[in-house]
Amino acid sequence: MKGALIGCGFFAVNQMHGWRDLPEVEMVAICDRDPERLSIVGDEFAVDRRYQSAEAMFFDGGFDFVDIATTVGSHRALVELAVRHKVPAICQKPFAPTLEDAKAMVAAAEVAGIPLMIHENFRWQTPILAVKAVLDSGAIGEPFWGRVSFRSGFDVFSGQPYLARGKRFIIEDLGIHSLDIARFLFGDASRMTARTRRINPDIAGEDVATMLLDHDSGVTSIVDVSYATKLPEEPFPETFVEIDASRGTLRLGKDYRLTVHGPDGTRENRVAPTLLPWASRPWHNIQESVALIQKHWVERLAAGREPDTSGRDNLKTFALVEAAYLSAERGETVDLGDLL
C-alpha cells in the first residue's frame, strides 16, 4: 500500500515512524507548505517526492491513501481534495473548525464512496483498550457511572505553540480525545452539560473543562480535563478512568495501574504501553496508539470495511465538543439531537 503525507509538523513525525514500522506500507510522497519541515521529514524518512502544494502532489498521484496531519483550518479543503481525486483519506483530529464543515466532509466522502478515517488515536492506547476489555468481559457487570479524567500541568505550548492562540483550547484539542474515550467505553451520549475556565492568563482559550454526559446506555459520565493542574507527580499524558458497575468497580490510575474489583475479589495489574524503539517518554503511550490506529486503517482499507473512527463515527465525538462549548456558553444542558 502506497501512502502520502500532508503536513510534516510536530506530530507527523510520529505518524511517519508508525508507517515505517508497517511492512505493508510505503510512504512515497510528502507535502508541506514549509520547505524546512519538508526537508527535515523527507531526509529523516528518505522520501524523495516532496511537494509544497497538495494540489501538485495529487495531480502526480501514485498513492493509495493520504494521511492529513495539518492543523484544523486546512482539514476540510484537503479532505475534499482527496475525495475529488478518489484517494482514501485519514484526517487528524480535530475533524474541522465547525460541525457544519465536518458534516460536509463526511457527505462528500460518502457520495464519492471514499473511505475517511479521523486519526482519533486515544481509544487505541493500551491502557484504554485494557479498560474496554474488562467491561466487555462482564467481570464488573453493567456500568452505571464513569469518569474519564485528564488533569495536568504539562507545558504543551512549547511543542504546539498554536494551542496558546486559539479561542478554543482544551476541549477542542484534548477533551475531544477524552470525550471519544467516554463514547468508546459507555456508548453514544445524548445530553451534555459543561463548565469551562481559563486559569493560565497567557493563553486565549479555556484550559479547564468539566463535562457531564448522559449516555444512551443509561451511564452518567464525567469527563474532566485540565492543563492548569499542578500535581506533585506530573501524569501527562495519562488518562485516568473510574467506572462503577452493577457487580464491581474499575479504576485506571497513575502509572497505568488498573484495579478491578468484583465478586471474585480484587485484581491489580499494570497496563503500561509498550515503549516503541522510536518513542520517547512521556509520549510513548500516545505514540504507540498512533501505530495501532494506523494498523487498524490498513486492515480495514484492505478488507473494504469502515474504520472504527470513520468520519461518520467521529461526527458524534465532534458534536460533543460543540455541545460542550454551547453548554458552557449558555449555562444550559445541550441536547445532542439538536446538533446531529
- Per CB under 6 A, residues contacting ligand 89V are 156, 160, 173-174, 177, 237, 286
Closest CB to ligand NAD among 62 and 161?
Answer: 161
- Cβ 54 to ligand NAD, closest distance in Å? 5
Lateral strand order in the sheet of 240-245: 265-270, 257-262, 249-253, 240-245, 143-151, 220-226, 208-215, 189-197, 334-335
User: In the bound complex, what is the minimum distance in angstroms from residue 278's beta carbon to ligand 89V?
Assistant: 17
Distances (CA, A) of 310 to 5, 91, 118, 193: 18, 10, 6, 26
What is the DSSP pairing of strand 189-197 with strand 249-253? unpaired
Nearest 5 degrees, angle CA 40-CA 41-CA 43?
A: 70
Residue 314 binding: pick among ligand NAD, ligand 89V, none (C-beta 5-8 Å cut-off by kind): none
Distance CA 158, CA 199 (A): 18
- Which entry of ligand 89V, ligand NAD, none binds 32, CB below 5 to 8 A by partner kind? ligand NAD
Question: Does residue 282 have a cis peptide bond before it, meaning omega lies within 30 degrees of 0?
Answer: yes
Residue 37 or 85 having the CB closest to ligand NAD: 37
Q: Is 92 in the site for ligand NAD (CB under 6 A)?
A: yes
* Residue 134 one-letter amino acid: V
DSSP 171: I
- Out of 72, 139, 213, 279, name the contact with ligand NAD by CB under 6 A: 72
Kindly tell me which of 156 and 223 has the beta carbon lying closer to ligand 89V: 156
Reported as type and span, the H/E element at residue 108 is helix 99-112
Nearer CB in complex with ligand NAD: 294/327 = 294
Nearer to ligand 89V, 125 or 221 (CB): 125
Q: Output 155 or 268, the one with its CB closest to ligand 89V.
A: 155
Residue found under cell 468497580: 249
| 70 is a site residue for ligand NAD (CB under 6 A) | yes
Q: Judged by CB under 6 A, which stretch of 65-73, 105-113, 136-144, 221-229 contacts ligand NAD?
A: 65-73
Residues 153-172 as x/- pattern, contact with ligand NAD by CB under 6 A: -------x-x----------
17 binds ligand NAD (CB under 6 A): no
Please, which contacts does 86-89 make with residues 24 or more away whose CB atoms are closer than 8 Å? 86/112, 86/114, 87/58, 87/61, 87/63, 87/114, 88/64, 88/114, 88/115, 88/116, 88/301, 89/65, 89/114, 89/115, 89/116, 89/117
Least separation in angstroms between residue 14's CB and ligand NAD is 8
Q: Does the footprint of ligand NAD cover residue 31 (CB under 6 A)?
A: yes
Site residues for ligand NAD per CB under 6 A: 6-12, 31-34, 37, 54, 69-72, 74, 92-93, 119, 121, 160, 162, 173, 286
